[in-house]
Structure 1
Amino acid sequence: MKIAIALALAGAFLTADVGAASEGWDGKKLYRYTNEHGIQVLDDVVPPRYVAGGYEVLTTSGRVLEVVEPELSGKELAEKQRREARMAADLQLLKRYNSVADIESARKRKLAIVQQDVAILRSNKASLHRQIENEESAAARTQRNGGTVSPELLERIENLRKEVKVVSERLSLREKEAVAINSEFDRAANRYQEIAGK
């Protein structure tokens, strides 16, 4: 296989050389560029100050060998990169999903995992609150009976409050994640409809 590819490439190069030779090309190149006065210039080199404006590479007989496009300005370059990124994202979207129904199915699967976590975290939070209430009730009974609340009990209550705070933060993050997932899949579904023309 590699030999066949190598032979095909060699044949292409030989054909190119024969074509150039039959045209009488001596291998010399000329460059056509536009100077600061808007005049096209034919020269054997492109002065560095004109390279950014683009140029053409020609044979001495005038056949164009290569066209070097002008460099883009900052704004044009940013726009080109934005367009290319959009095209890449669109291609990825079309590869990943076959229909809007596929997108909705993926949304449900992803949300189900997050919603399961949210339910577990809410249950944990409720359980921690009950434990705090029980410990605080025990501390209140001790005080009503004229006793001193033990440092261990106070520490348990404080640790439970810290746990509630950690669980609350995780719950908030997961709820925000659910909102972000919905937004992401809304955008995907809308864009899919735009590019698929449905």
Structure 2
Amino acid sequence: MKTALALALAGVFLTVDVGVADSGWDGKKLYRYTNEHGVQVLDDVVPPRYVAGGYEVLTISGRVLEVVAPELSGKELEEKRRREARREADLQLLKRYNSVADIESARKRKLAIVQQDMAILRSNIASLSRQIESEESAAARTQRNGGTVSAELLARIENLHKEVDVVRERLSLREKEAVAINSEYDAAASRYQEIAGN
């Protein structure tokens, strides 16, 4: 039946004036798809197994109403999503900044905050280190004089060492953040130059 329909329609396409036929279009549609043998088929439905390969919706006279693109494979879909994400990121970059100078200014502002925190953390480490030195000197004097260092003093020294470790870890995180900020803004400046053509 499909073959007969296809042949009959081929004859219609050759003999019917498209403009005249479309003027009286009754809303009936045909679907053109490619089968597994690479042959284009006209039918009143698209079998489910051919939907993924894409198809066209036509009037009886052959005018194309809609083209349904083939579904993308896994890699093609991943690539399409990557391109769309890149395009969106580029649009956001152009909205956020007017020039590379704007990007550099934003970098400086962001780094200034991180560097200020790093300076405070370094100052805290120095202060804690002085406290540790003072407490350890007191403990050493007590031992030199033949006394026993109190459990409270030993606990204070231990707590100060732990506090220094915590502050050093925070400082390390802020140092990594500064590196990440520089990388982020280097990439933004480079991409801005590419897409803005500067």
1:111 aligns to 2:111 (yes or no): yes
The corresponding residue for 1:97 is 97
In the alignment, is the contact (CA less than 8 A) between 2:97 and 2:103 conserved in 1? yes
Distance (Å, rounded) in 2 between the aligned partners of 1:22 and 1:185: 58
CA RMSD in angstroms, aligned pairs only: 1.2
Q: Distance in 2 between matches of 1:32 and 1:58?
A: 7
Identity of aligned residues (%): 88
Deviation at 1:72, TM superposition (A): 0.5
Counting only pairs closer than 5 Å after superposition, residues 76-87 of structure 1 correspond to structure 2 as 76-87=76-87
> 1:99 & 1:193 partners in 2: Cα distance?
9
CA distance in 2, matches of 1:67, 1:92: 31
Summarize deviations over 1:149-189 as a string: whole Å, max 9, x none.
Answer: 00000000000000000000000000000000000000000
Q: Is 2:79 aligned against 1:64?
A: no
Which residue matches 1:162? 162
Inter-partner Cα distance in structure 1 for 2:23 and 2:63: 9
Q: Calculate the TM-score normalised by the size of structure 1.
A: 0.89
The 5 Å alignment of 1:1-198 reads: 23-198=23-198
Looking at structure 1, the residues matched to 61 and 33 of structure 2 have their Cα atoms a distance apart, in angstroms, of 17
What is aligned with 2:12?
Answer: none
Q: Distance in 2 between matches of 1:26 and 1:101?
A: 62
Aligned to 1:5: none
CA distance in 1, matches of 2:131, 2:193: 51
Give the Å deviation of 1:23: 1.5
Give distance in 1, aligned partners of 2:23 and 2:83: 40
Superposition deviation, residue 22 in structure 1: 6.5
**Equivalences, count:** 179
Deviations along 1:15-47, whole A, 9 cap, x unmatched? Answer: xxxx9x972110111000000111110000000
